[in-house]
């Protein structure tokens, strides 16, 4: 009985672990198929880090869009403070965005007189 069991296990081992005669042909065909596939940038990136790179790309594009479509207000620097003394009232109005003058001052600059 022991020899029959050993023979059975040997036959199963040969059937499972011994490749058939066309094994190398199938393996080489799959290797050629893999080489013939289109190669993209995502093939070079490991699959576990693809979502991270994708999220980083989306965030960079969103930040770029915000920078392009929302203008930034420049801060007042050292040169602006120095040149402020040399500016006239009309130049001062054009350079200051935060301090909007009242309508009377604008009318004086434009040369309108009050009608009585």
pLDDT tens-digit series, residues 96-110: 555 555 677 777 777
- 103 or 25, which is more confident: 25
Instruction: Tell me if 39 is assigned to some domain.
Output: yes
Strand ranges in the chain using DSSP code E only, listed in sequence order? none
Q: Specify whether the CB–CB gap between 49 and 41 falls below 8 A.
A: no
Instruction: Tell me if 83 is assigned to some domain.
Output: yes
Same structural domain for residues 85 and 55?
no
The structural domain count of the chain equals 2
Same structural domain for residues 14 and 58?
yes
SS3 content of the chain, % helix, strand, coil (to 5): 65, 0, 35
**pLDDT-derived band of residue 47, with 50, 70 and 90 as boundaries?**
confident
Q: Is the pLDDT of residue 3 over 60?
A: yes
Same structural domain for residues 59 and 93?
no
**pLDDT-derived band of residue 58, with 50, 70 and 90 as boundaries?**
very high
Instruction: Tell me if 16 is assigned to some domain.
Output: yes
Same structural domain for residues 55 and 86?
no
- 10 or 82, which is more confident: 10
Task: Record the pTM.
Answer: 0.31
What range defines the domain where residue 45 resides?
2-69
Residues ≥6 apart with Cβ < 8 Å to 86: none
Instruction: Tell me if 115 is assigned to some domain.
Output: no
Residues ≥6 apart with Cβ < 8 Å to 81: none
């Amino acid at each position: 009985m022991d020899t029959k069991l050993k023979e059975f296990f040997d036959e199963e081992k040969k059937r499972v672990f011994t490749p058939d005669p066309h094994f190398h042909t199938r393996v080489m065909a799959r290797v050629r198929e893999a080489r013939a596939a289109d190669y993209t940038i995502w093939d070079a990136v490991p699959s576990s880090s693809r979502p991270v790179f994708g999220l980083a790309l989306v965030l960079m594009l969103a930040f770029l869009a915000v920078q392009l479509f929302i203008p930034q207000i420049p801060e007042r620097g050292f040169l602006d403070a120095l040149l402020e003394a040399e500016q006239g009232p009309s130049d001062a109005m054009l350079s200051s965005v935060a301090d909007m003058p009242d309508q009377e001052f604008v009318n004086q600059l434009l040369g309108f007189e009050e009608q009585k």
